[in-house]
A and B are shown apart, each in its own frame.
Chain A
């Protein structure tokens, strides 16, 4: 091989590395830019009154997001109550029965479920809950979010339980502990950190969801704690106010964005702490 071509190859190698680094940096930049944009617009709106008061009618300055905070809490609690027990049970099932037709299709269904666009889940909750009950409600929104949260919890439960050594289970069974108790009191606690992480990530996933709530929770400008009535939620409020033409409402929306992002970042951080702190080493 000629000397010249070697030099060309080496310079090409350097060029490629530079290109990769440049492209990677280019994509990290907008992220910081978006964060900065939201924080700078949102933080000026945030004060105590913003968090505890109701939105004012358009044209009036001030107002807050207390109804959305309450609504988001209600929706998350409803979704969690439904999907956490179900998700953990399905996760145990998938990790206990690895082979066979049913576990295979069960896993496949969950993977498909995870990929379903959130707006389709909203329509399903509308057809299943809103139409029979005759009104938009927090319950229907919670159920839509529960369907979205379920695959996350199942997958993390399954992944965690799979990693727990069989010796643990065998030791427990050898001591005469019945099978259900072995699963619930030995295997499950050993995998608790992974399961809790999954739950936290599931909540982080649904906290910012808007599409499934458009025709279920629907949104409401009033404070509502009735689970059978429409409620507002942070992402819904952001959507409604962001698409309105009024600058006062835009300011409210930026504040709500800020609160939402802080909440989601907090959940992600919490998930990392839980993984690190609670992890049982084998």
Chain B
């Protein structure tokens, strides 16, 4: 069975490391890191990705634009996306979900909550 590949899109090295550290507790997983939306799109063209975890506020291209581009592309339009952000306002959550994100986790994150959400989305995709 192929390893599950996660694309972690986050400009903060601390947060990237924490997300990667948390995800590595899952069996057979591979983590690709991107520092912003543009970097993430580059990685999406060259790598097979199973799930994207993205921040909203990032330089170059923010998370909301990244989600819109992913959903507009035929190859990636069904890719599960989780937003992890400091933006806790209801309208930000709504906007992210309207653009096509599958889940929304406000910071500071609890690794167990992240893993539950990831497992649930992957199960949904595979069923």
Tell whether A pairs with B: no
Q: A residues bordering B, Cβ < 8 Å?
A: none
